[in-house]
């Protein structure tokens, strides 16, 4: 399984650009996109005006000018902190984009004309349909399909994987990506994208954030935050005449401070950063999401459709068991099976040696004089002739049966039974003989990838249904499904069956994810809510999907779903924390506003804050500093543990709900202790 790319949280360059970006984003036209923080910026403008013209609102006195100035500064810092959080998230993406842009710089292309002549041009002017020739050591200038040649391609500039990938015409490995390097031989490539539309261009655009749009959940949450802001604004507006009627004189700056403290500024300041960071985390896991909606949909996945071969199993049949027949013993079968496979470089042959040495505890090396025979379609068996004349063979049941029969040997009575047992389990039986004696059967089966059983159990724990698709017969499919621990399977599955399965799940209101790499997977990838195409796959598959796995690891879908879950949990947790904060800030500001005139309000001053001014400013300062304190959490995400929704909700309510109430009580009190002496020196 691929590991997430580890990078520093904030580099010096990102920090410098983020500080600059925080001020640039103060532009009201930009701030209007975030209504909650726009209200805070308007509050800053009004309190700044009060510093110079207090009389227009009926406020007088030099102390009030100073108080208004302090409030204005804190409000400005609050907006800057929110902008800084978003700028940091964008900065991480832009830093990654710069490294990708290096692969495009000064790229040349050798274009072929219809008469076969070669012309070197700038890669930037290549058009869809052009034919280019790329030789060893040269960079592929743009996305395309191999139409002639076979070569190894280094895709490390895109995927980070150092091992070259073999590319050739036809099949699922004909697609090549611009920016990768041909390391051997040559390729003739037909360009499949116009300038600015290549996969690398899309990657750069996505990681820079230029193409990001608000996701449905983000829009819904933004609507909630705007609604809460409007409600609190109405409350504050009606509070002023009530206070006047009660004989309490409230400064406009105090009302603004109350508004800013009660509206959900914490989540409002971090909302964009959380969304950007979610896409960033997927990108650093070597998966390119074509939209934020795709990442978010991963968090809502209910059903996961997976291919068996290459995803759940290795795709190569591996030795699983040695089954002796007749009166033979297992140790003899293991010995002859291993010797016959010492020079067998197929995955099956290597697995026989590995299993045999593990069971016997002995390491076997080829001896001088051994004559090895390779498997052929005609003989349907392979083996070795030993120096002492012993002839060991392993192969298909009927081939070995005929071979031993021709030598005059006896066929064990239980051999056919053992062979049929293996076949019914969906395995491949390899019969082993030495001379005219048959020693037993090697059970080859498509092996489940390690760790998948536990991962499927984790998915089941969070309510995600897994469906395995395979072309195997129902008996084999049932055996693999049971071993892997998937919830259900589709045997003898055709491409149209995948689409049918996806639509059936979606008709029940479920969100479906699947992986694929071939052209025949494209319709199903397009139909699925989350479609992850392999980078090694065809252009059709990558165009149809809304995510591309650069490592071409089909099991990555399991990781991406957890990243999507983490994104939603992070957003929900910080929203809970932000709204819970209002409880403490309410107990800080409301008593401070009224207790001078209404002494009975002192009972609500449970934090024992020193003065009305210190109470209001302490709450306002805490409201500002909590935003940068939560930036690391917004970037890295809340730690995710697979569990049922009900348990997850209660856990997050306990941690972020209760924590969101307790933290401000402690923080505001500490700030009050620190600033009270300073305010007394200033006469406040």
Token pair belonging to 246:
């009660």
Ranges of CATH 2.70.150.10 domains, the chain: 106-206
Site of tokens 């360059």 = 13
In the chain, list all ranges with CATH 3.40.50.1000: 300-312+449-550
Rounded to an integer, the average pLDDT of 306-327 is: 82
Residues comprising the binding site for Mg(2+)?
517, 521
Can you tell me the distance from the alpha carbon of 583 to that of 568, in angstroms, rounded to the nearest whole number? 24
Cα–Cα dist 629/82, whole Å: 11
pLDDT of residue 66: 85
- 192-248: pLDDT as tens digits: 877 766 666 665 565 555 444 566 777 788 888 888 888 888 888 888 888 777 777
The tokens of 675 are what? 């600033």
Partners of residue 530 on adjacent β-strands: 513
Mean pLDDT of 244-271: 83
The percentage of the chain sitting over the pLDDT mark of 70, rounded to a whole number, equals 87
DSSP reduced 3-state for 443: strand
| Residue given tokens 């495009």 in the structure block | 104
> 485 near 457, Cβ under 8 Å?
yes
Q: pLDDT tens digit string along 526-548?
A: 888 888 887 766 777 777 888 88
pLDDT of 57 above 70: no
Chain centroid offset of residue 384 CA: 49
How much is the pLDDT for 164? Answer: 73
Residue 283 · residue 93 · CB < 8 Å: yes
pLDDT per residue as tens digits for the range 439-477: 999 998 877 887 888 888 888 887 889 998 887 778 778
CATH 3.20.20.410, applies to 106-206: no
Contacts of 256 (CB under 8 A, 6+ apart): 43, 46, 47, 71, 75
Assign residue 129 a region (left: φ > 0; alpha: ψ between -120 and 50; beta: otherwise): left
| Active-site annotation holds for 307 | yes
What is the pLDDT averaged over residues 340-356?
Answer: 88
Highest mean pLDDT among 32-46, 136-150, 300-314: 32-46
| 133/367 Cα distance (integer angstroms) | 48
Among residues 143, 154, 307, 472, the one annotated as catalytic is: 307
Q: Is the pLDDT of residue 2 over 50?
A: no
Beta bridge partners of 152: 166
Question: Exposed e or buried b for every residue in 25-51, given b needs 16+ CB within 10 A?
Answer: beeeeebeebbbbbbbbebbebbbebb
Confidence of residue 352 (pLDDT cuts 50, 70, 90): very high
pLDDT for the residue numbered 5: 44
Digit-coded pLDDT (tens) for 630-657: 888 888 888 877 767 677 778 878 888 8
Which residues sit in the known binding site?
Answer: 344, 348, 375-382, 394, 517, 521
State pTM to two decimals. Answer: 0.63
Give the pair of three-digit tokens for residue 32. Answer: 């209007």
On average, the pLDDT of the chain sits at 81
For the chain, percent of residues with pLDDT exceeding 90? 16
Instruction: Write down the pLDDT at residue 434.
Output: 94
How far is it, in rounded angstroms, from Cα 142 to Cα 127?
9
Long-range CB contact pairs, 325-330, < 8 A, 24+:
325/412, 325/414, 325/415, 325/418, 325/438, 325/439, 325/440, 325/441, 326/412, 326/413, 326/414, 326/415, 326/438, 328/412, 328/437, 328/438, 328/439, 328/440, 330/359, 330/440
DSSP calls for 462-496: TT-EEEEE-SS-HHHHHHHHHHHT-SEEESS--HH
CATH architecture of the domain covering 300-312+449-550: 3-Layer(aba) Sandwich (3.40)
Residues placed in the known binding site for ATP: 344, 348, 375-382, 394
| Interatomic CA distance for residues 250 and 236, integer angstroms | 11
SS (H, E, C) 263-305: CCHHHHHHHHHHHHHHHHHHHHCCEEECCHHHHHHHHCCCEEE
Architecture of domain 316-445: 3-Layer(aba) Sandwich (3.40)
């Amino acid at each position: 399984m691929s590991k997430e790319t580890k990078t520093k949280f904030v580099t010096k360059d990102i920090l410098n650009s983020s500080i600059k970006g925080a001020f640039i984003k103060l532009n009201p036209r930009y701030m209007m996109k975030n209504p909650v923080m726009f209200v805070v910026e308007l509050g800053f403008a009004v309190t700044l005006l009060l510093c110079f013209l207090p009389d227009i609102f009926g406020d007088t006195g030099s102390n009030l000018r100073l108080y208004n100035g302090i409030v204005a500064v804190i409000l400005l810092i609050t907006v800057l902190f929110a902008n800084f959080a978003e700028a940091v998230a964008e900065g991480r993406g832009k830093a990654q984009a710069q490294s990708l842009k290096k692969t495009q710089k000064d790229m040349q292309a050798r274009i072929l004309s219809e008469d076969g002549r070669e012309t070197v041009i700038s890669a930037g002017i290549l058009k869809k349909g052009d034919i280019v020739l790329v030789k060893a050591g040269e960079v592929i200038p743009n996305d395309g399909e191999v139409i002639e040649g076979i070569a190894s391609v280094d895709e490390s500039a895109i995927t980070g994987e150092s091992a070259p990938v073999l590319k050739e015409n036809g099949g699922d490995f004909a697609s090549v990506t611009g920016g990768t390097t041909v390391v051997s031989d040559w390729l003739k490539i037909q360009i499949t994208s116009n300038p600015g539309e290549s996969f690398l261009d899309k990657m750069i655009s996505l990681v820079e954030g230029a193409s990001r749009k608000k996701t449905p959940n983000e829009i819904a949450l933004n609507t909630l935050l705007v609604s809460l802001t409007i409600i609190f604004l109405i409350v504050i507006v009606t509070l002023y005449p009530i206070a006047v009627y009660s004989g309490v004189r409230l400064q406009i700056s105090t009302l603004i401070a109350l508004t800013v403290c009660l509206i959900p500024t914490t989540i409002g300041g971090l909302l964009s950063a959380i969304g950007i960071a979610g896409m960033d985390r997927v990108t650093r896991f070597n998966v390119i999401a074509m939209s934020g909606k795709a990442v978010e949909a991963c968090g809502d996945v209910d059903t996961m459709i997976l291919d068996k071969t290459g995803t759940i199993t290795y795709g190569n049949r591996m030795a699983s068991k040695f089954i002796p027949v007749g009166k033979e013993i297992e140790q003899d079968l293991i010995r002859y099976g291993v010797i016959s496979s010492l020079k067998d470089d197929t995955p099956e042959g290597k697995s026989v040696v590995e299993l045999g040495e593990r069971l016997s505890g002995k390491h076997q090396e080829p001896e001088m004089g051994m004559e090895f025979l390779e498997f052929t379609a005609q003989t349907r068996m392979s083996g070795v002739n030993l120096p002492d004349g012993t002839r060991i063979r392993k192969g298909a049941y009927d081939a070995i049966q005929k071979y031993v029969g021709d030598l005059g040997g006896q066929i064990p009575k239980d051999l056919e039974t053992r062979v049929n047992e293996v076949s019914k389990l969906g395995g491949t039986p390899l019969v082993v003989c030495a001379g005219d004696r048959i020693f037993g059967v090697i059970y080859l089966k498509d092996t489940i990838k390690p760790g998948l059983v536990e991962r499927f159990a984790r998915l089941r724990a969070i309510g995600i249904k897994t469906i395995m698709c395979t072309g195997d017969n129902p008996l084999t499919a049932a055996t693999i499904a049971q071993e892997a621990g998937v919830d259900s399977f589709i045997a003898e599955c055709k491409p149209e069956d995948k689409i049918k399965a996806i639509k059936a799940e979606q008709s029940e209101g479920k969100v479906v994810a699947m992986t694929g790499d071939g052209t025949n997977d494209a319709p199903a990838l397009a139909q699925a809510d989350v479609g992850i195409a392999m980078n090694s796959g065809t252009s059709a598959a990558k165009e149809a999907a809304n995510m591309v796995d650069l490592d071409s690891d089909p099991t990555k879908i399991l990781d991406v779903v957890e990243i999507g879950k983490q994104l939603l949990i992070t957003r929900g947790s910080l929203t809970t924390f932000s709204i819970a904060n209002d409880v403490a800030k309410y107990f800080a500001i409301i008593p401070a506003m009224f207790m001078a005139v209404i002494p009975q309000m002192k009972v609500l001053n449970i934090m024992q804050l020193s003065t009305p001014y210190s109470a209001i400013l302490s709450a306002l300062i805490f409201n500002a500093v909590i935003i940068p304190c939560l930036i690391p959490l917004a970037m890295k995400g809340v730690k995710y543990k697979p569990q049922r929704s009900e348990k997850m909700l209660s856990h997050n309510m306990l941690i972020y709900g209760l924590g969101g109430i307790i933290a401000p009580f402690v923080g505001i009190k500490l700030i009050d202790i620190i600033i009270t002496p300073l305010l007394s020196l200033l006469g406040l």
